[in-house]
């Protein structure tokens, strides 16, 4: 029995921003044959040149307005702090019936920034693919990035149900699982599972840098898996993460407050020699790790599946 021929979901897709996520989307769209033509634009001339050189999209444009002309789907893959500005720029060039989406990791502030600029007859539906690496730029993308990862769909109030379902089908074709969320809940969930863990990683790497009794060479030479993973997370795009915390301030501060309370409780247990509290706490947190592995969101391979030298 032959495989079903994939159907084009959007005739023309415009990617505004050509970094890891947009590049991976382009490659995944080609793999799934769900886009007729893919156009792209990046603010940096160097990025546009690289995208042309490697054939990242079908057509690299020199302006955002050129890229979105006659596009059926427009993807805002830019830092969340400039979403509103970019939306205002491209709005006059959008065709009626077009769908605009974003791939930012904050939603409430993005909706507030973008929605005032959405023209009559154009649909906006927020999305957030929960996938990424510490790498950025047009060469960093790969088609498998979204496979078996979650893409959160965050429609504004009154969004067209047919267009929401179509966008869900699109993300499923790119390999992702989808789930709908409202903007406030999305921002709280992401503060817990992504934003605050990133902040903690940045902080821990900063502590190592400041701790003069441990030399830089010792930090690098003797890094165990825990610190090594902190450095991987802390190598992420600084512009993106600056904007995440400035635009998801309320949820991030709430979760940081809870984290601080838990940290004080653990400090007290260590200071007083309360082994039972420590053991119970570590047992509960271990169960969350098992749940992540059982859900297929990571591997239980030794050393997190890292490739060994000579292996």
Reduce the DSSP state of residue 95 to 3 states and report it: coil
Please give the DSSP secondary-structure letter assigned to residue 173: H
In sequence order, which ranges of 158-223 are alpha helices (DSSP H)?
Answer: 161-173, 183-190, 196-210, 216-221
Positions of CATH 1.10.3660.10 in the chain: 185-273
Please list the residue range(s) of the chain that carry CATH number 3.40.50.720. 10-181
CB 233 within 8 A of CB 197: yes
58-91 pLDDT, tens digit per residue, is: 999 999 999 999 999 999 999 999 999 999 999 9
Asked if 87 contacts 115 with a C-beta cutoff of 8 angstroms, the reply is no
CATH superfamily of this structure's domain 185-273: 6-phosphogluconate dehydrogenase C-terminal like domain (1.10.3660.10)
Fold of 10-181: Rossmann fold (3.40.50)
Length of the chain: 311
Cβ atoms of 155 and 194 within 8 Å: the answer is no
Nearest C-alpha neighbor of 116 from the set 80, 91, 141: 91
Distance CA 310, CA 193 (A): 34
CB 61 within 8 A of CB 40: yes
Residue 51 has pLDDT above 80, yes or no: yes
Question: What distance in Å separates the CA atoms of residue 171 and residue 96, rounded to the nearest whole number?
Answer: 22
Q: Using one digit for the tens of pLDDT, what is the confidence trace for 234-290?
A: 777 788 888 888 888 898 889 889 889 999 999 999 999 999 999 998 888 888 777
Query: Could you tell me the pLDDT band of residue 232, with boundaries at 50, 70 and 90?
Result: confident
């Amino acid at each position: 029995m032959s495989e079903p021929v994939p159907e084009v979901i959007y005739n023309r897709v415009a990617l505004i921003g050509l970094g890891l996520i947009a590049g991976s989307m382009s490659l995944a769209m080609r793999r799934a044959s769900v886009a007729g033509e893919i156009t792209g634009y990046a603010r940096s001339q160097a990025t546009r040149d690289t995208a042309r050189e490697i054939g990242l999209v079908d057509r690299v444009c020199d302006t955002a307005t050129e890229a979105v002309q006659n596009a059926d789907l427009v993807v805002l893959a830019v830092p969340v702090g400039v979403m509103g500005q970019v939306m205002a720029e491209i709005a006059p060039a959008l065709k009626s019936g077009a769908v605009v989406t974003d791939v930012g990791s904050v939603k409430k502030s993005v909706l507030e920034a973008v929605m005032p600029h959405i023209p009559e007859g154009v649909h906006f539906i927020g999305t957030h693919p929960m996938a990424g690496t510490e790498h950025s730029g047009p060469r960093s993308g790969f088609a498998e990035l979204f496979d078996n990862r979650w893409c959160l769909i965050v429609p504004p109030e009154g969004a067209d149900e047919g267009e929401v379902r179509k966008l869900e089908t699109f993300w499923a074709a790119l390999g992702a699982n989808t789930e709908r969320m409202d903007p406030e809940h999305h921002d709280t969930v992401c503060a817990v599972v992504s934003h605050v863990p990133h902040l903690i990683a940045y902080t821990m790497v900063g502590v190592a840098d400041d701790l003069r009794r441990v030399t830089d060479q010792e930090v690098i030479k003797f890094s165990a898996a825990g610190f090594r993973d902190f450095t991987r997370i802390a190598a992420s795009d600084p512009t993106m993460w600056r904007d995440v915390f400035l635009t998801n301030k309320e949820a991030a501060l709430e979760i940081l407050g809870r984290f601080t309370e838990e940290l004080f409780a653990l400090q007290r247990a260590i200071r007083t020699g309360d082994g039972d509290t420590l053991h119970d706490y570590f047992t509960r947190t271990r169960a969350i790790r098992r749940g992540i592995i059982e859900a297929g969101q990571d591997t239980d391979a030794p050393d997190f599946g890292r490739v060994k030298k000579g292996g």
